Amino acid sequence: MSRKTPIPIRRFDIRPALAVASVLGLAGTSAFGENQNMSASNVVTACGTPDEAWISFCNGYAQAVFDTAILSGASICPPAGTTRATMADTVFRSLYTLQEQAGVEQMAEWPGAGTVTVALERHYPC
């Protein structure tokens, strides 16, 4: 019987996540009004902010949407070696271009996670 090497638990600094939560209003009142979902426009704004906390948020958001989409049966197949940062950048560029075409008001009506899923499916087809 072989022993598996334990996966090391990495400690992380929660301060950037707290900063993001406070800016988004997740730690009290809502920055999104009564609807707590991020719109596609919110994703473009968050992922286009050149700040380490927002970059980390965007990377994590793209990864979370990817993981959820895969569990839901979406057909997304990034090439081997695709990093979370590359995936998030691909999503941001796609949504930014879409926002230029559709407009901020229209993007504000679309769900962020659903729009990110479509962007991932288009950029990483199986």
Domain extent listing, the chain: 38-123
pLDDT value, residue 28? 41
pLDDT value, residue 23? 47
pLDDT value, residue 37? 80
Residues of the chain with pLDDT under 50: 1-2, 5, 7-12, 14, 17-18, 20-32
Residues 72, 116: contact at Cβ < 8 Å? Answer: no
Q: Tell me the CB-side half-sphere exposure of residue 60, using CA atoms within 13 A.
A: 10
The runs of H, that is alpha helices, within the chain are 15-24, 40-47, 52-71, 84-102, 104-109, 112-123
pLDDT value, residue 35? 58
On whether the pTM is more than 0.75, the answer is no
Residues 109, 37: contact at Cβ < 8 Å? Answer: no
